[in-house]
Chains A and B, each alone.
Chain A
Amino acid sequence: MSRKFLLGAAAAAAFVATGGVAMAAPPILIGVQAPITGTYADEGQGIQKAVQLLADEQNAKGGLLGRKIEVKACDDEGTASQAAICARQLVDAHVVAVIGSYTSGAALAAEPIYARANVLQSSDGTSNQLLERGYQTWFGNAPPNSAEAVFTANYLVNVRHFKRIAVLTDHSSFATGLADEVEKDVKAVHGNVVDKAFINAGSQNFTPVLTQIKSLNPDVLYFSGYYSDGGLIRAQMQQLGMKAVFVGGDANQNVSFGKIAGSAAAGSVILNVPAPQDLPYPAAKQFVAAYKAKYGALPPSVYTLTNADGMRAIMQAIAETKSTDPKKLEGYLHHLKSFQGLTGTFAWNARGERTGSPFVAFEVDAQGNYSILYPKPAH
């Protein structure tokens, strides 16, 4: 009896000493699975920084449900094998939810592990394979491939009136998924695809395949892969004297694209949701300013913000349901009518696919700046 009383008194004293909430309960663990090193390191580090920033901001307001939020990060190096290792590590650490990863391949490898352990997963991965198994723990935070492909086909065929479209992709699950959809949707709007070719991501030497594509005389080259290859492809198109317009899928949007392409960057078109600093929403402007103040640089791409939206939605779910029970959180997120994200208003359908996708076409100039080309910004 007296022992219990003493323990209670000690706990109460600790409660007072630490100013209340902090020590009252164990922290809520949120995992980050991202390519913190490797080819996509700046994207991976951006996701980690964004989640940490949101957690710090929330903790400054007293945390969630009287508990602090603690972020636990794991580097998946953008590879499927390392992703599976990360997933097991984070599950063993008893995280409530995981933000990331950046690449669809890494998210796909981790997805069943989180689903079995009932851990929520919010990644910018948009490969259709991520939706096929119907896991209730999956919440994609980037607009689905299908939305991008429909927009792309319409832009190439109906807006720019290209007559000979060449499609180029790497072998990643993300890029091939997008290229397949674009090819299908271009044909659906009666466009003419003259070639579909592949590159090996990171191999740098794309002149053989570009020479082959050049011989087919396309008026546009659509590339669905990542910026590190896209910038080089653009530079090598110029080197080979190709006249075709370069149109890149969303993963080409990164500050490095213009640097790698150099003088060839000018006139390239990239289809994506707006860049972090161009997002018109007040919450987005506030987030980008706080990110810049804390880390001294802008977020590397919009995926930093879609992953931040995943984190924000999960925090909102925890606050609204007053629970960290995964079943309750999943139910809340699946039935959310509209979520006010940094990247626009959206919701999730039953498959965990994001609905609501504000795509635009950007033109890149010689300095690597982006300007919105289509739809024309309203004044």
Chain B
Amino acid sequence: MGTFVQQVFNGLTVGGIYALIALGYTMVYGVMRLINFAHGDLCILGAFIGLTLLSGAAGSGHPGVALLLLAFVLAIAVVAAAGVLLEFVAYRPLRRADRLAAVVSALGASVLIENGIMIVWGPNVHVFPSGLLPETVWHVAGAAITFVQVLIILASVVLMAALYVFVHHTKFGTAIRAAAIDQDTARLMGINVNRVIVTVFVVGPALGAIGGLFVGVYYREAYFTMGWVYGLYAFIAAILGGIGNIPGAMLGGVLLGLFNAFAAGYISSSWQDAITFALLIGILLVRPTGLLGERVAEKV
């Protein structure tokens, strides 16, 4: 029983991180029909921005929680700005071009950001300072749950709920959804589609930066190729939930985290990825558009 509860919390913690990052993939895809392969690297840029501030301020006597809040604000600001810049430089000129051109541009941007991080911060593993957050451990039904885990799970739930309300219950959210259905028609209705796209490239990377910095705070390490690992998992989470669908990305992230924990814990740790991905293929065979994805008529 204790083992089961522990695995649920293990899965929920990483699942929350996957979900936060997956939202960026799904929002961009929803509006632009583009897989932003640079998204994972943007998220890890957030971890490095936070790392720089936290290591610079370590031992300065300021309370850890205040520093951490500041690190999150800074990471969100820088990564959102990078997201907007990326859209402007790498995607906007190709908006009317062949879809493959934008995908290649996205892959190029991913390599560029990854290597940029390596040049600025160096190729080695960086370690976050310890003692920023309380090291409280709660024991629930035989499982040990730390403060950081609870923080990550709660923060992801709150952020995802806020995003849901923003997209489904505000005027601007309605504009985003309209642009996602048909950009030309949305334009005819007086929606500024460029502004919608810029907003998507602010909100997605901002959530990703939070996810990336959570990775750093939870595992206390960051290295420049990490964006690829988390980007891949989050991308799969977005596909699993139904790409383009916001609640789907949340569900996909959490499920992927749980699958992984149960596969490692109850079947075999050496097969954990194989089992997780086999399950994913199974789900996609039954529901090709993902768990919450709707079947959309092909636009010609």
Q: Which residues of A contact B (CB under 8 A)?
A: 36-39, 41-42, 171, 197-200, 202-205, 207-209, 211-212, 214-215, 228, 231-232, 235, 239-241, 256, 259-260, 262-263
The verdict on B174 contacting chain A, using a C-beta distance below 8 Å, is: no
Q: Give the shortest distance, in Å, between B71 (CB) and chain A (any CB).
A: 18
Q: Are B266 and A232 in contact (CB under 8 A)?
A: no
* Sample of 14 A–B contacts (CB below 8 Å): A197-B270, A199-B269, A200-B273, A204-B221, A208-B7, A208-B262, A209-B272, A215-B3, A231-B221, A235-B219, A240-B144, A256-B125, A256-B127, A260-B220
Do residues B10 and A259 form an inter-chain contact, with CB atoms below 8 A? no
**Pairwise interchain contact A228-B269, C-beta atoms closer than 8 A:** no
CA gap between A200 and B277 in the complex, in Å: 15
Are A211 and B7 touching (Cβ within 8 A)?
yes
Residues of B within 8 A of A (CB): 2-3, 6-7, 10-11, 13-14, 118, 122-125, 127, 130-131, 135, 137, 139, 144, 146, 215, 219-221, 223, 225-226, 229, 260-266, 268-270, 272-273
In the complex, the answer to whether B269 meets A202 with C-beta atoms within 8 Å is: no
CA distance A197 to B268 in the complex (A): 8
Q: What residues of chain B lie closer than 8 Å to A37, measured between beta carbons?
A: 118, 123
Supply 14 further A-B pairs (C-beta < 8 A) apart from A41-B122, A235-B220, A256-B127.
A199-B269, A202-B225, A204-B219, A205-B260, A208-B260, A208-B261, A211-B261, A212-B266, A228-B221, A239-B137, A256-B124, A256-B125, A260-B221, A262-B130
Cβ-defined contact, B269 with A209, below 8 A: yes
CA distance A41 to B124 in the complex (A): 6
Do residues A262 and B144 form an inter-chain contact, with CB atoms below 8 A? no
Closest CB in chain B relative to A216 CB, distance in Å: 10
Q: Is there an interface contact between A202 and B144, defined as CB atoms closer than 8 Å?
A: no
Asked whether, in the complex, the Cβ of A228 is within 8 Å of the Cβ of B144, the reply is no
Q: Which residue of A lies closest to B11 (CB)?
A: A208
List of B residues within 8 angstroms of A240 by Cβ: 6, 144
- In the complex, the 4 A-B pairs of residues with the closest C-beta atoms, listed nearest first: A198-B270, A208-B264, A41-B123, A207-B10
**Alpha-carbon gap, A202 to B272, bound state (A):** 14
Residue in A212, A215, A241, A259 whose beta carbon sits within 8 Å of that of B269 in the complex: A212
Given the contacts A208-B265, A208-B269, A208-B272, A262 and B220 also touching, CB distance less than 8 Å = yes
Residues of A within 8 A of B135 (CB): 263
| A367–chain B nearest beta-carbon distance, Å | 12
C-alpha gap A204/B6 in the complex (Å): 17
CB-nearest residue of chain A to B221: A260
Contacts of B11 in A (CB 8 A): 208
Given A203-B229, A240-B6, the answer on whether A232 and B269 have CB atoms closer than 8 Å is: no
Query: Contact: B265 with A211, CB < 8 Å?
Result: yes
User: Which residues of B sit under 8 angstroms from A212, Cβ to Cβ?
Assistant: 3, 264-266, 269
Residues in A with CB closer than 8 Å to B125 are 39, 228, 256, 260
Chain B residues closer than 8 Å to A241, beta-carbon distance = 137, 139, 144
Residues of B within 8 A of A228 (CB): 125, 221, 223
A42 CA / B260 CA spacing, docked (Å): 31
Please indicate the chain A residues that have their CB under 8 angstroms from the CB of B263 in the complex.
208
> Distance in Å from the Cβ of A257 to the closest Cβ of chain B?
10
B130–A263 CB distance below 8 A: yes
Q: Measured between C-beta atoms, what is the minimum distance from B15 to chain A in Å? A: 10
In the bound assembly, the distance between CA atoms of A212 and B265 in angstroms comes to 5
B7 close to A39 (CB less than 8 A): no
User: B273: nearest residue on chain A (CB-CB)?
Assistant: A200
Contacts of B273 in A (CB 8 A): 200
